[in-house]
Structures are given as C-alpha cells and as structure tokens.
C-alpha cells in the first residue's frame, strides 16, 4: 500500500515511486558494459572492472588495462548528456539538468587528469555498437602494448 509522500525541500525525487525507480538504476554492470566486456574478453584481453586507474583519483573506469594504461568508460546517454539522446526531464528539470552538467564536467576533468598521467581514455555511449567498441578497445590496447605501454599480462 502506497502512502502519500512529500519530498523534502530541495530533494531530487518528485515522489516515493520516482525515488525507488531512480535508486534501482545500476551504476555498474549495465547491459552495454557486460556486452562489451564479454566481447573484449573473447579477444583474449584481460582487464580490471570498475577500478580506479589512478590511486589518487576518486573515480573509477568501467574497464582498466593497467599495464597498457587504457581506461574505458561506457557512458549512459541520460547521465552523461549524450548529444543524440539526452532529453531534459519534465519533473524537477533544474536539478537534473545541473546534475548531468556536473557529470559532464567531471567526465572532462577525469579525461584530462588521466591523459596528463599518460593514460589513453576511451569513451563510448551506451547506444554504440558493442562490436565496434570492443574492436576499438582491442586495437588501442594492442597498439599501446606494442609501443611499450604495457606487457601482455592481465591488465
């Protein structure tokens, strides 16, 4: 039985049902991530999942190839502001648009910090072809390893 719920002042949730729905959204192990991981693994590449590329950076990449210094992010269209698919919500649009803008700013900062530390950053949208993403990941990791960016180890 659902009870009436008034969100606290400044809350991101417009209702108890919306709050439950939003809290159920996965931040890792999404379908696009799992598909890409499966394809990359089938090509013989090994990687860390949901790991910090840099110890001092409080951010995790979806796949991390440490010896090759390649960090892969598979971004959700809504949460990361996909130019093709992001649509501002009708409920509490100010809060959510600011949240997505902060995510985009953090993404650019993460890219810059990793690049400055000698990493290659690959970002894909959740709607991109998993096969194409896996191919680009394998090509990039192979290239970095061939240039001495890492060994053939477990990444």
What pLDDT sits at residue 136? 98
What's the pLDDT score for residue 89?
Answer: 82
Handedness of CA 121, 125, 131, 132 (dihedral sign): negative
CA atoms of 66 and 153, how far apart (whole Å): 9
pLDDT at position 5 is: 45
The answer to whether 154 touches 73, Cβ cutoff 8 Å, is no
Q: What pLDDT score does 69 carry?
A: 98
Domains in the chain and their CATH numbers?
Answer: 27-146 (3.40.960.10)
Q: What is the pLDDT along the chain (155 residues), one digit of tens a residue?
A: 444 545 555 555 555 665 555 555 556 789 999 999 999 999 999 999 999 999 999 999 999 999 999 999 999 998 899 999 888 888 888 888 999 999 999 999 999 999 999 999 999 999 999 999 999 999 999 999 999 865 444 44
- Quote the pLDDT of residue 1: 45
């Amino acid at each position: 039985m659902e009870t009436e719920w008034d969100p606290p002042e400044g809350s991101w949730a417009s209702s108890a049902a919306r709050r439950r729905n939003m809290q159920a959204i996965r931040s890792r192990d999404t379908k696009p991530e799992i598909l890409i991981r499966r394809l990359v693994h089938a090509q013989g590449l090994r990687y860390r999942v949901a790991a910090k590329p840099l110890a001092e950076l409080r951010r995790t990449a979806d796949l991390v190839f440490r010896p090759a210094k390649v960090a892969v992010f598979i971004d959700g269209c809504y949460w990361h502001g996909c130019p093709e698919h992001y649509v501002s919500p009708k409920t509490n649009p100010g809060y959510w648009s600011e949240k997505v803008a902060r995510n985009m700013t953090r993404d650019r900062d993460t890219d810059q910090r990793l690049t400055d530390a000698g990493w290659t950053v690959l970002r894909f949208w959740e709607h991109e072809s998993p096969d194409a993403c896996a191919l680009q990941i394998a090509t990039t990791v192979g290239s970095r390893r061939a240039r001495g960016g890492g060994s053939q180890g477990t990444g």
